[in-house]
Chains A and B, each alone.
Chain A
Amino acid sequence: MYAIEVQDLVKIYEGGIKALRGVSFNVMPGEIFGVIGPNGAGKTTLMRIIATLLKPTSGTVKVLGHDVVHEAEEVRKIISYLPEEAGAYPNLTGLEYLTFMAKFYTNNEKELQEMIRNAARICNLGKRLYDRIKSYSKGMVRRLLVARTLMMKPKIALLDEPTSGLDVLHALYIRNVIRNYAKKFGTTVLLSSHNMLEVDYLCDRVAIINKGRIIAIGNPEELKEKYSAANLEEVFAKAVRQ
């Protein structure tokens, strides 16, 4: 069974904007799958539909066999979603936020502490976890949110630009965390990014989306060969211009 199965997905927003015009692809269990594309290509729309936040205009999405429209509650138990533009509750401390989130995934005190330890390791905020979130920088909030997305070792992680706003070192660190999660716990990852280095380093397979359509799909090496490009950036540029 596929981890994520997307078929002929179309999304037309209320204003008539066609964000997705028939997108199909499959993600294997344990795979890290990257979605790249220019601004407005439809990446976030795609993520939101898989995360059960938006309903498709037509087409289907299945997550481990569960339909995202008809079995939304089931799907939410499987996925963990990091929105592109997300925030946290400013009047809670980082630790309180993580505890609040972890409690939705377990009733067991030991498991809870385990999740919080995971999160603390991922976000690497140290003592700042005891401070109110309103005192955090943008990057610190992002790290907290990445940590909360991964702390419960989800079967499927949907990460919309996970390292946006992070400095080089923290971005590197988070990439390693994502890779380890996929390797160690078999977490399936679907991520979008504008950083080709990141995609090249992390992803087993990549889909390039433009104007709501997939224009290229394959593993990074295949794509570089196909477009006779030195790196993914060139692939991206050539694919989009075609």
Chain B
Amino acid sequence: MSALRNLVSKEIKELFRDPKILIGMILVSIIIFPLLSKLVTYSVKSSTSLGRHFTIGLVDEDQTPLSRSLREYLTAIKNVDVIMYASTSQIGNLTQEVTAIIIIPKGFQANITSGLRAHIKVYTTFKPSSIFSQGSKGTFLTSLLKAYERYLSVLLLHNVAPNVNPSTILEPFNIKEGIFIKGKLIDIHPYAISQLLINYYFILPYSLLLLLLVSISISATAMAYEKERKTLETLLTLPISRVTIFLGKLIGSIIVALISSGAYVLGFTYYIRSIMNAVQAPISAGISRELLLKLGLLPTKLSYVLLSIVILMALISAISLALSLGAFAESVQSAQSISGILLPFIMIPWFLATFVDPSSLSLPVRLLLYAIPFTHVAIATRAAMENNYLALSIAALYLAIFTAIILYLTARFFSIEEKVLSSQLFKRWRRKS
């Protein structure tokens, strides 16, 4: 037991002091993501914030009382500056930077007074650097113009029917949205719910996939690393069993993978959340976890337990496979490419299982998909959301059997020392002859 602990702690020390792992995985998550989210939040905020100034270039080709009223309306708004241009030909040599250009074409008033639809053209200034705020700029202007449109409608209605309240005609009813779930009507905006659930439906499966991939890449190189550093021969002659060495690698890889992908996921979650908060702040406020749980929209404790078993099994079998495959490689680099063989077996079924409804696939494809053990991790994540205990148990059972077989084979493989050493010896032989 103490030999195992010794091996694991060495493994962790070595890996975390390896600059590639340290920089590549941990720093990226705890520095780049928060930084990125600050940036995005900032640019989103700065474009939507009321404190921001809008400068509008206005070309009034109509020159009528109505077009002038629009100009006065815009000028009256706080934070909006209006610069007048006599014609579109002047726009080319603008000196001042404008947020947008509004053109009121000729015939604006004439159309409206004769009962036809008039046009206003809005061009927002496009800069690749302000790609995030582009949409919100346009939205802001459109909402300004909509307000003006409403004001015009009221005015026109008033002229036609002075005794009627214009808003009952313009908006005879309100819409209140809610969701219908499991026979119950709930007054929650659907958008709010999906915003809350994105953590579970998107971030959780994504994190699991990441965890699997990270642990594979760490463990695939574990044996090759020993070979490259020429430490394997010594390790294999120590008074410890092969199985202990294998377990040391397995546990070390799992721990490092958990920590580094944990950091990554944390960073990423923070990033997604802060963007969403910046864009759509308070809609989801007021919906509690308890409510979601009661609605059966969140996994229960039992689901979590079953899902954890599935994840653990998948991790153990993936790492065992990667460890054995990687043992054939003589360098870390070739170990990495050898472990690449495993990736399609994880990624393809994963994406199929998350994005495609399995029942829509043809029977042979579906059977093939279900036969691949790692598909069941994706399936289990979905089943956990729906608290489908049967599906979860089947996934757990299937993965447990698969893992037991893999563990047995790997342990046997590692107890045949020549296999583990062979590629190294082979390399020596090639060099000498």
Contacts and interface: CB of A to CB of B under 8 A. Distances in A.
A45 to B, nearest CB: 9
Given A73-B241, A83-B230, A91-B14, A15 B6 contact: no
A87 B428 CA distance: 15
For chain A, the bracket of interface size reads 35 or more
Given A76-B238, A96-B13, A104-B239, A87 B6 contact: no
A100 B12 CA distance: 13
B233 A104 contact: no
A147 to B, nearest CB: 13
Contact of A89 (B3, B229, B239): B229
B238 A104 contact: yes
A226 interface: no
A90 interface: yes
Interface in A76-115: 76-77, 79-81, 83, 85-92, 96, 100-101, 103-105, 107
B224 interface: no
Contacts of B229: 87-90
- Main SS of chain B's interface residues? helix
Contact of A79 (B237, B418, B429): B237
Interface stretch (A47-55, A179-187, A210-218, A232-240): A47-55
Contacts of A77: 239
Contacts of B6: 100, 103-104
Contact of B10 (A14, A79, A92): A92
A85 B230 contact: yes
A117 to B, nearest CB: 19
Contacts of A76: 237-240
Contacts of B14: 89, 91-92
A81 B239 contact: no
Contacts of B425: 13, 54
Given A17-B429, A39-B432, A92-B13, 18 more contacts: A14-B422, A14-B426, A15-B429, A51-B237, A52-B417, A54-B418, A55-B418, A76-B240, A81-B237, A86-B234, A87-B229, A87-B231, A89-B229, A92-B14, A96-B13, A103-B6, A104-B6, A104-B238
17 contacts: A51-B237, A52-B237, A54-B418, A54-B425, A55-B417, A76-B238, A83-B234, A85-B428, A86-B233, A86-B234, A88-B229, A89-B231, A91-B14, A91-B18, A101-B238, A104-B6, A105-B239
Interface of B: 2-3, 6, 10, 13-14, 17-18, 229-231, 233-234, 236-241, 417-418, 421-422, 425-426, 428-429, 432-433
The 5 closest A-B pairs by CB, nearest first: A87-B230, A91-B17, A83-B233, A81-B237, A77-B239
